[in-house]
């Protein structure tokens, strides 16, 4: 059995070029690691050559012929090209030393082993040779053993590896989360010691690693390490701030950091949607800011959903997450996250369900997933009761949605209908009448259909002193937003 799928044509090609160029060349890094871990097959292959990566890439391109595009990054001495659905990256083996205040390496040519030593983790320094092509793993730093034992260890002293490139602290935590590996103790201490160096890493790269942690099967693993090493406080202080329990008059509130992580892990069992996962991270973000102890009552966090939603844009801006409809979506879910839970505690009225459907719109199913994940009491009976009530809310939502079609709401009577019917120009009366119709539908006074809404419009208009000029049988414009 081929460990590294070396029967693929690409390996033959690379092997021939290595022979022709009389250059030692190796496959290294993520491709080797993931093949050994039997993870999903990778589409990117890193090749390290003892010589010039750029010259090697040129020779590969010449051999492929046709119109192959090569991207050269002269400053880094790397080149990239696509072949057979794969992305190949070439780099010259180097012994690097880094400038202290940036992540830019000063590159000097080196041997394979020198190059392996300068990589982040022993499991990422594994390599095999291309000519003669064979699958024997070249492993001077014990990476195979670490792979076997599930350990993340740096090839050199960890202080040096992390200080050289502080992004590796995030990578260590990301790999620990993705692979369920343990960061070796000395390495973990070094992350704590070097944490301030994260400040020289660009926010985009930090966000990329953070998102990979969030997309893992159990993101709490990564967030706990980020917290324990002190990195979380530096990169995402609002989240670190959730941690802690206050006790007044013998009453404690729950630790919102660990609660948030539990909600996040719960949610991860039902969705891979990154932004829905972000809404779990942020759902209680304003709890520290709204926390109050009310004597005789206990701890309250009034308005945390509203304040939390207002905090979202600034957090997204600082973390360099997209400031577009994804942000708006997270904001909406944070704002509405208590609503289904409130419904599940009360006798559920049709109009409350209708209002929720109206406000959540097409995101109602995601909101329900978030809320279900938020039911986390230690008291099993309580959880069972809430979940049972929650099922009732879901049934009710379905019933009302089928009846009222509120998910993709369009007002049955448009602003144009109102103007034509009463012979009036745009003005505040139109907004007032439309709002009155919407409220009547949400309260269940009239059904969500043209005939009933039109009759209601006539009465509301008359209340405002308007006189019907022309009676409509159907809406004249049915695509106008509310």
The region of 117-125, 137-145, 327-335, 399-407 touching ligand CTP under the rule CB under 6 A is 117-125
For ligand CTP, the closer of residues 46 and 284 by Cβ is 46
Rounded to a whole number of angstroms, the minimum distance from the CB of residue 320 to ligand CTP is 18
54/125 with CB nearer ligand CTP? 125
Number of residues in contact with ligand CTP, rule: CB under 6 A?
Answer: 11
Interface positions, 283-302, toward ligand CTP (CB under 6 A): none
- Nearer to ligand CTP among residue 120 and residue 429 (C-beta): 120
Q: For the CB of residue 195, give the shortest distance to ligand CTP in the complex, in Å.
A: 16
Does 124 help bind ligand CTP (rule: CB under 6 A)? yes
Longest dimension (CA), the chain: 93
- The distance of closest approach from Cβ of residue 115 to ligand CTP in the complex, given in angstroms and rounded to an integer, is 9
| Part of the chain binding ligand CTP (CB under 6 A), chosen from 50-58, 120-128, 351-359, 444-452 | 120-128
For residues 345-384, which are near ligand CTP according to CB under 6 A? none
Task: Find the shortest distance in angstroms from Cβ 76 to ligand CTP.
Answer: 12
Classify residue 288 by burial, with Cβ atoms within 10 Å: 0-12, 13-18, 19+: middle
| Nearest-CB residue for ligand CTP | 30
Minimum CB distance to ligand CTP, residue 206 (Å): 12
CB of 4 to ligand CTP, least distance (A): 14
What residues numbered 15-54 form the site for ligand CTP, per CB under 6 A?
Answer: 29-30, 46
Helix axis angle, 450-463 to 415-422, nearest 10°: 50
Q: Closest CB to ligand CTP among 62 and 156?
A: 156
Interacting stretch for ligand CTP, rule CB under 6 A, among 116-124, 146-154, 344-352, 405-413? 116-124
Rg (CA), the chain: 30
Residue 382 burial (CB count, 10 A): 11
Is 167 one of the binding residues for ligand CTP (CB under 6 A)?
A: yes
Q: Which stretch binds ligand CTP (CB under 6 A): 161-169, 268-276, 282-290, 393-401?
A: 161-169
Name the minimum Å distance from CB 278 to ligand CTP: 20
Distances (CA, A) of 183 to 122, 149, 233, 265: 12, 11, 20, 21
| Residue (87 or 443) nearer to ligand CTP, CB | 87
Kindly identify the residues of this chain, within the stretch 171-190, that bind ligand CTP according to CB under 6 A.
171
CB of 268 to ligand CTP, least distance (A): 18
Closest separation between CB of residue 321 and ligand CTP, Å? 19
Q: Are 69 and 168 in contact (CB under 8 A)?
A: no
Nearest approach, Cβ of 197 to ligand CTP (angstroms)?
A: 13
Nearer CB in complex with ligand CTP: 44/350: 44
The binder of ligand CTP chosen from 59, 110, 117, 120 (CB under 6 A): 120
Nearer to ligand CTP, 48 or 267 (CB): 48
Nearer to ligand CTP, 120 or 417 (CB): 120
Residue 165 in contact with ligand CTP, rule: CB under 6 A:
yes
CB of 389 to ligand CTP, least distance (A): 42
Rule CB under 6 A: say whether 119 interacts with ligand CTP.
yes
Per-residue H/E/C for the chain? CCCCCCCCHHHHHHHHHHHHHCCCEEEECHHHHHHHCCCCCCCEEEEEECCCHHHHHHHHHHHHCCCCCEEEEHHHCEEEEEECCEEEEEEECEEEEECCCCCCEEEEECCHHHHHHCCCCHHHCCEEECCCCCCCCECCCCHHHHHHHCEECCCCCHHHHHHHCCHHHHHHHHHHHHHCCEECHHHHHHHHHHHHHHHHCCHHHHHHHHHHHHCCCCCHHHHHHHHHCCHHHHHCHHHHCCCCCCEECCEECCCHHHHHHHHHHHHHCCCCCHHHHHHHHHCCCCHHHHCEEECCCEEECCCHHHHHHHHHHHHHHHHCCCCCHHHHHHHHHHHHCCHHHHHHHCCCCHHHHHHHHHHHHHHHHHHHHHHHHCCCCCCHHHHHHHHHHHHHHHHHHHHHHHHHCCCCCCCCCCHHHHHHHHCCCCCHHHHHHHHHHHHHHHCCCCCCCHHHHHHHHHHHHHHCCCCCCCCCCCCCCCCCCC
Question: Residue 56 phi/psi, 5° resolution?
Answer: -65, -45
What binding mask, one character per residue, do residues 433-462 give for ligand CTP by CB under 6 A, x or -?
------------------------------
The residues of the shown chain that bind ligand CTP, judged by CB under 6 A, are 29-30, 46, 119-120, 124-125, 165, 167-168, 171
């Amino acid at each position: 059995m081929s460990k590294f799928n070396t029967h693929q044509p690409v390996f033959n090609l690379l092997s021939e070029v290595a022979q022709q160029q009389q250059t030692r060349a190796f496959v290294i890094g993520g491709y080797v690691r993931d093949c050994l871990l039997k993870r999903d097959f990778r589409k990117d292959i890193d090749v390290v050559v003892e010589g010039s990566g750029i010259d090697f890439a040129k020779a590969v391109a010449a051999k492929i012929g046709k119109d192959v595009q090569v991207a050269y990054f002269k400053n880094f001495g790397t080149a990239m090209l696509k072949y057979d659905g794969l992305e190949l990256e070439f780099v010259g083996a180097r012994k690097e030393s880094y400038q202290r205040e940036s992540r830019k390496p000063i590159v000097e040519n080196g041997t394979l082993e020198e190059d392996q030593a300068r990589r982040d983790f022993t499991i990422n320094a594994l390599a095999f040779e291309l000519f003669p092509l064979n699958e024997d793993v070249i492993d001077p730093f014990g990476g195979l053993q670490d792979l076997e034992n599930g350990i993340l260890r740096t090839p050199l002293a960890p202080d040096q590896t992390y200080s050289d490139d502080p992004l590796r602290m995030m990578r260590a935590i990301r790999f620990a989360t993705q692979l369920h590996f343990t960061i070796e103790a000395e390495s973990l201490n070094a992350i704590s010691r070097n944490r301030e160096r994260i400040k020289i890493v660009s926010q985009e790269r930090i966000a990329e690693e953070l998102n990979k942690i969030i997309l893992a099967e159990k993101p709490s693993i990564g967030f706990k390490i980020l917290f324990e090493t002190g990195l979380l406080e530096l990169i995402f202080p609002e989240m670190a701030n959730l941690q802690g329990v206050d006790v007044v008059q013998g009453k404690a509130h729950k630790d919102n950091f660990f609660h948030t992580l539990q909600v996040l892990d719960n949610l991860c069992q039902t969705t891979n949607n990154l932004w829905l996962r972000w809404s779990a991270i942020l759902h209680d973000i304003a709890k520290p800011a709204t926390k109050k102890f009310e004597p005789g009552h206990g701890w309250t966090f009034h308005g945390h959903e509203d304040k939390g939603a207002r905090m979202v844009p600034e957090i997204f801006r600082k973390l360099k997450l997209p400031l577009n409809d994804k942000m708006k979506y997270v904001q909406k879910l944070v704002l509405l996250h208590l609503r289904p839970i409130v419904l599940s505690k009360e006798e559920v009225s049709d109009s409350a369900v209708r209002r929720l459907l109206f406000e959540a719109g097409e995101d109602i199913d995601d909101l329900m997933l978030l809320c279900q994940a938020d039911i986390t009491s230690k008291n099993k009976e309580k959880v069972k009761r809430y979940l049972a009530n929650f099922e009732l809310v879901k049934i009710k939502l379905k019933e009302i949605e089928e009846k009222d079609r509120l998910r993709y709401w369009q007002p049955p009577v448009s602003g144009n209908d109102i103007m034509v019917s009463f012979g009036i120009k745009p003005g505040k009366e139109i907004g007032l009448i439309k709002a009155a119709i919407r409220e009547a539908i949400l309260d269940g006074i009239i059904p969500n259909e043209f005939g009933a809404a039109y009759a209601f419009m006539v009465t509301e208009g008359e209340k405002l002193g308007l006189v019907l000029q022309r009676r409509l049988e159907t809406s004249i414009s049915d695509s106008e937003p509310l």
